A and B are shown apart, each in its own frame.
Chain A
């Protein structure tokens, strides 16, 4: 069927097979930041925003994105650099393969939660697996970033 999707601000009209998942559809449009780490919706690597809400693009059919606005890390380069710098300064990106999905979820969290506790942060990001870091450096980066954002808002 034919779908119309806005990807990172640009509108695309495409014929897609009914079983095409959003993940593959996005990668076929050059959104290579969107990664696949499993087949069971467990790893969080494929996280993108659909109408500003984080979704697992492996578990969303491309046809469901019809008429929706999809944002990937390619469309949030400024934000990615801003938070990514905190992550990089902790050495918390390591292999980097889970970074895009993780960062997409962090950026969604920042919009959704006000002054989250450590437990709330962990809970929100629970679905983003990482095998390199043991998550500690990611937590340090998130907290420093939240501090930075708060100070920026107070200015």
Chain B
């Protein structure tokens, strides 16, 4: 292996660092109409009258669309494999507005000024209705978020819209009530997490135009180009054959762009006017009407023996879908499956959940996808029971963690083929020097230094659902074209998959030409989400290379005039095993372009019946000022088992980046609504994401297992790494203060107030 497991620079790196115009917004056609949305100021309201006459008179306004102008079939904007588990509960524009910021009208104009002026001149009469903002009161509330008749759930997700239930589920392994009865200690705790904004630096944006073949072209910052094609076809009621979707470079996604957030608006403008159209979301719009993490409330019952053996866990999660059910029924499953499964010796476990509609903004996919919330709850509960039993939280995990070779009953009964969680624990402890630092130390300046721990897992693709295809062509002169349909969003999959191809084909990585996605030209791929790219698409690449090698050998041997069995291919030439006579790959390439009835290319599909979890241990060391409650994460140790590390730089940066996003979730990021249901902190000024001055060091080490079903033994890494900071920091704050905070984010003022209260007692 030359490239796999090495430090390889991304293929597109130099164009990114020199600022080349490679993003959606940099390549918009000159004459594109500027598309803007009039958004609802109310969280729940019905449009009783809408008058666009004055706005249409603004010079430069090309069209204004209202709910009267859009198709009436409901769709979901969730980028998922058909039939989507997310209910069909949306229209492009609706008469009933279900959250603040819901689109009321689409304005398209020659320039921004005209569009802005027109937005102000649209006259709307609203019948303002009381919104349902508290998701814990959603079920059977007299306010029904989706009263419409043409609401449709394609999958059996136990949807009951008249009760505001987007989906619900339950599973049980063993008998939880019995097992809890037999425990020495049982704790019952409730944990709350907020919605979080992905806050990728490039906000949502799309441009559309009609090409020379009369087809709708959609150039968009998306993680799911093929799903965008299908969803737009449903939303616009036009055939899929009439749509082409192109993904240029993306300025970050983190799951946000696994939903169709901005595509439908310029698309309908282009369909109505025949003109190119471009929409770019402001940061404010991206935050008020994006696709954030689902807010959740989780109730945990955990039971253990006095010696620390954890015997039973019972988890109930209530998830706030918000106004629309995008990713609602699917994120929730991970809350249970990817938290309970960290523990291998449970006698019984149960997970039950409800996902409910309210009048907050609709949720979506965000890195971790429910696992983040579930792991926060379960890992904190484990830390609480360790504290109750006076056992070191690392030790209780060493006693109870899942081990390689076990069957993971709560993880769809899948086998644990590859797992070095035990080594990750030992490594992380060593990295942070746990034994000398646990639990806390008071510094001379009055601050407290403390440590806290958590484990995490994720999946690698959606088993039995995700499909990846790869195609590789041999060209004249012996270079290859690698065609893939998964979407590099800065994560580096174009490079990672090229590394795999270069090793499989024994060639220089520069001989592999790779491209962004074009649904007309790239082979089908479900897209880059669910931590699927390295594991699923990677395997498709490996299989494709094997097939292509055979074809190269066959052609080479034919050119040499020998039987295939008598020759071999070493990446540069096909040679006669007996005589050493050879024909170069370049010659084979040229020959395949001349007078042959088959050019040399291979294409394979891959789908995995299992989704092997990557694992990790994260330990936070914090500095807490008891006077102000201010917490700084001064050091973070991450020991990760993602199977074989394909690209050491990129895996490390994924880990560092995920941890910092997780720190933001734990300590700062706090979406808040006012009484009218409007978000009050929809900017970077008010919604704080971590800046570099907030952070100490982050140490990353890999403890690689070998996943037999993965390409080169690899599993996923992208989502896993966001899951440990919330529970680890919660634990560290407990070790500093003696207090468990059970709602995120844990802000300085909460800590200061709680400490003051504790003092008073």
Cross-chain contact A136 with B697 (CB below 8 angstroms)? yes
The CA of A62 and the CA of B16, in the complex, are separated in Å by 26
Q: How many Å from the CB of A35 to the closest CB on chain B?
A: 8
- Contact among A37, A128, A129, A134 for B203, CB-based, below 8 A: A37
Cross-chain contact A98 with B201 (CB below 8 angstroms)? yes
Given contacts A131-B199, A135-B660, contact A94 B283 (CB under 8 A): no
List residues of chain A with CB within 8 A of the CB of B653: 90-92, 94, 132-134, 136-137
List residues of chain A with CB within 8 A of the CB of B200: 95, 97, 131
The CA of A98 and the CA of B199, in the complex, are separated in Å by 12
Cross-chain contact A91 with B10 (CB below 8 angstroms)? yes
Which of A49-57, A80-88, A108-116, A146-154 forms part of the interface with chain B? A80-88
> Is A130's beta carbon under 8 Å from chain B?
yes
List residues of chain A with CB within 8 A of the CB of B16: 84, 88, 93, 95-96, 99
Cross-chain contact A38 with B14 (CB below 8 angstroms)? no
Q: How many Å from the CB of B522 to the closest CB on chain A?
A: 20
Which residue of the partner chain B has the closest CB to A95?
Answer: B490
Cross-chain contact A38 with B251 (CB below 8 angstroms)? no
Cross-chain contact A131 with B254 (CB below 8 angstroms)? yes
Q: How many Å from the CB of A85 to the closest CB on chain B?
A: 7
The CA of A40 and the CA of B661, in the complex, are separated in Å by 21
The CA of A136 and the CA of B203, in the complex, are separated in Å by 23
Which residue of the partner chain B has the closest CB to A31?
Answer: B19
Cross-chain contact A89 with B684 (CB below 8 angstroms)? no
> Is A126's beta carbon under 8 Å from chain B?
yes
- Contact among B251, B649, B684 for A96, CB-based, below 8 A: B251
In the complex, how many residues of chain B place their beta carbon closer than 8 angstroms to a beta carbon of chain A? 56
> Is B18's beta carbon under 8 Å from chain A?
yes
Residues in chain B within 8 A of chain A (CB atoms): 7, 9-10, 12-14, 16-23, 25-26, 198-203, 249-252, 254, 282-284, 489-492, 647, 649-650, 652-653, 656-661, 683-685, 689-693, 695, 697-698
- Contact among A33, A100, A135 for B692, CB-based, below 8 A: A135
Which residue of the partner chain A has the closest CB to B658?
Answer: A134
The CA of A80 and the CA of B14, in the complex, are separated in Å by 9
Cross-chain contact B19 with A42 (CB below 8 angstroms)? no
- Contact among B12, B19, B199 for A80, CB-based, below 8 A: B19
A sample of 23 inter-chain contacts (CB < 8 A) reads A35-B23, A35-B202, A37-B684, A40-B683, A40-B684, A43-B283, A87-B13, A88-B10, A89-B649, A91-B10, A95-B202, A95-B249, A96-B17, A96-B251, A98-B201, A98-B251, A103-B19, A126-B693, A127-B691, A134-B660, A136-B697, A137-B652, A137-B656
The CA of A148 and the CA of B12, in the complex, are separated in Å by 23
- Contact among A33, A39, A87, A138 for B19, CB-based, below 8 A: A33
The CA of A85 and the CA of B20, in the complex, are separated in Å by 15
Cross-chain contact A129 with B691 (CB below 8 angstroms)? yes
The CA of A1 and the CA of B357, in the complex, are separated in Å by 52
Interface of A is mostly: loop
> Is A139's beta carbon under 8 Å from chain B?
yes
Cross-chain contact B660 with A72 (CB below 8 angstroms)? no
Given contacts A39-B284, A45-B201, A95-B202, contact A32 B21 (CB under 8 A): yes
Interface centre among A37, A77, A96 (most CB of B within 10 A): A96
> Is A122's beta carbon under 8 Å from chain B?
yes
Cross-chain contact A89 with B7 (CB below 8 angstroms)? yes
Interface centre among B10, B249, B284 (most CB of A within 10 A): B10
Cross-chain contact A122 with B23 (CB below 8 angstroms)? no
Given contacts A33-B19, A133-B653, contact A38 B683 (CB under 8 A): yes
Cross-chain contact A93 with B201 (CB below 8 angstroms)? no
List residues of chain A with CB within 8 A of the CB of B283: 37-40, 43
> Is A73's beta carbon under 8 Å from chain B?
yes
The CA of A65 and the CA of B395, in the complex, are separated in Å by 62
> Is A60's beta carbon under 8 Å from chain B?
no
Cross-chain contact B650 with A91 (CB below 8 angstroms)? yes
Cross-chain contact A77 with B202 (CB below 8 angstroms)? no
Which residue of the partner chain A has the closest CB to B495?
Answer: A91
> Is A123's beta carbon under 8 Å from chain B?
yes
> Is A3's beta carbon under 8 Å from chain B?
no
Cross-chain contact B490 with A94 (CB below 8 angstroms)? yes
List residues of chain A with CB within 8 A of the CB of B13: 84, 87-88, 93, 96
Q: Mark A4-42, 1 if CB is under 8 A from B, else 0.
A: 000000000000000000000000000011010111101
Which residue of the partner chain A has the closest CB to B254?
Answer: A131
Which residue of the partner chain B has the closest CB to A74?
Answer: B19
Given contacts A39-B683, A132-B490, contact A89 B656 (CB under 8 A): no
Cross-chain contact B691 with A126 (CB below 8 angstroms)? yes
The CA of A137 and the CA of B692, in the complex, are separated in Å by 11
Given contacts A84-B18, A91-B650, A95-B251, contact A133 B685 (CB under 8 A): no
Q: A88-B13, A137-B652 are in contact. List 16 more A-B contacts (CB 8 A).
A: A32-B26, A38-B283, A42-B683, A85-B14, A88-B14, A93-B17, A94-B490, A95-B200, A96-B17, A96-B490, A97-B202, A98-B251, A103-B17, A129-B201, A131-B254, A134-B661
